[in-house]
């Protein structure tokens, strides 16, 4: 009985909040293409990941066409592939086979990372033209790592196995981005959302505890900064 009362109270509160004119809630199911960059010419991008953003969005309108935005959701399969010119021991904290403890030159490391994301932004939209409104939304996104997998490919190395590399990826990922798109009204309170977003990470996604065999400096710690970047096709619905 207590559970039924609690559920009923939660639903009543949710409906009362959603009924307010200055608040809108919705959901997104958005495919994304991500890749990684580094701050060194010895480690270069060499492939993209096809991922998915899934979650809930919220908008608080402090004026008719201006709103603070936030939400919560998962970003599946974020990351990309990095080509390392020099060999080394790049994932020392992961449970890899002994044959992969030392990797050759030109090895490719693929990161597949899952984040719990919390975006905070500002939405600017136009007045309504028929059933359409156009919008632009700059935002900062906080990403909390929930899972990380990796694969390795190189000369004499070919493995389709995905290894657990949680310890090789930093727990926090911060990014800025901007999305532009349209709202299409299908009723007085419901709109379909379509748009294109670009997101750039500005914190180091990789843990940098490995070692690289540099022919000029010898064996040194791998200290590159790897950042995640993505293009997302925003698809969603607002109520």
pLDDT tens digits, one per residue of 172-182: 999 999 999 99
Q: Is residue 4 part of a domain?
A: no
- The whole-chain average pLDDT of the chain stands at 90
What's the CATH code of the domain at 197? 2.40.160.20
- 3-state DSSP of 46-91: CCCEEEEEEEEEEEEEEECCEEEEEEEEEEEEEEEEEEECCCEECC
Give the position of tokens 């632009």. 136
Alpha-helix residue ranges (DSSP H) falling in 149-229:
none
More confident residue, 15 or 41: 41
* Domains of the chain: total: 1
% of the chain exceeding 70 in pLDDT: 90
Domain holding 202, by residue range, is 22-238
Q: What is the pLDDT of residues 92-127, one digit of tens each?
A: 999 888 888 889 999 999 999 999 999 999 999 999
Confidence (pTM): 0.88
Beta partners for residue 66, in sequence order:
63, 124
**C-alpha to C-alpha distance for 47 and 63, rounded to whole angstroms:** 43
């Amino acid at each position: 009985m207590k559970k039924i009362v609690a559920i009923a109270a939660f639903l009543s509160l949710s409906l009362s909040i959603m009924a307010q004119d200055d608040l809108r809630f919705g959901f997104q199911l958005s495919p994304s293409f991500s890749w990684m960059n580094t701050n060194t010419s010895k480690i270069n991008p060499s492939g993209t990941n096809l991922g998915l953003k899934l979650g809930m969005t919220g908008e608080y309108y402090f004026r008719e066409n201006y709103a603070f935005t936030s939400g919560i959701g998962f970003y599946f399969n974020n990351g990309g592939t990095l080509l390392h010119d020099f060999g080394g021991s790049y994932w020392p904290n992961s449970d890899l086979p002994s044959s992969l403890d030392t990797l050759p030159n030109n090895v490719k490391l693929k990161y597949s990372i899952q984040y719990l994301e919390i975006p905070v932004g500002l939405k600017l939209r136009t007045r309504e033209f028929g059933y359409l409104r156009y919008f632009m939304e700059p935002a900062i996104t906080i990403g909390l790592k929930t899972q990380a997998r990796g694969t390795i490919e190189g000369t004499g190395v070919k493995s389709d196995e995905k290894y657990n590399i949680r310890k090789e990826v930093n727990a926090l990922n911060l990014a800025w981005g901007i999305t532009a798109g349209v709202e299409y009204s299908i009723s007085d309170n419901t709109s379909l959302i379509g748009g294109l977003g670009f997101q750039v990470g500005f914190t180091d996604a990789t843990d940098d505890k490995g070692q690289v065999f540099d022919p000029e400096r010898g064996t040194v710690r791998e200290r590159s900064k790897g950042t995640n970047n993505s293009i997302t096709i925003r698809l969603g619905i607002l109520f």
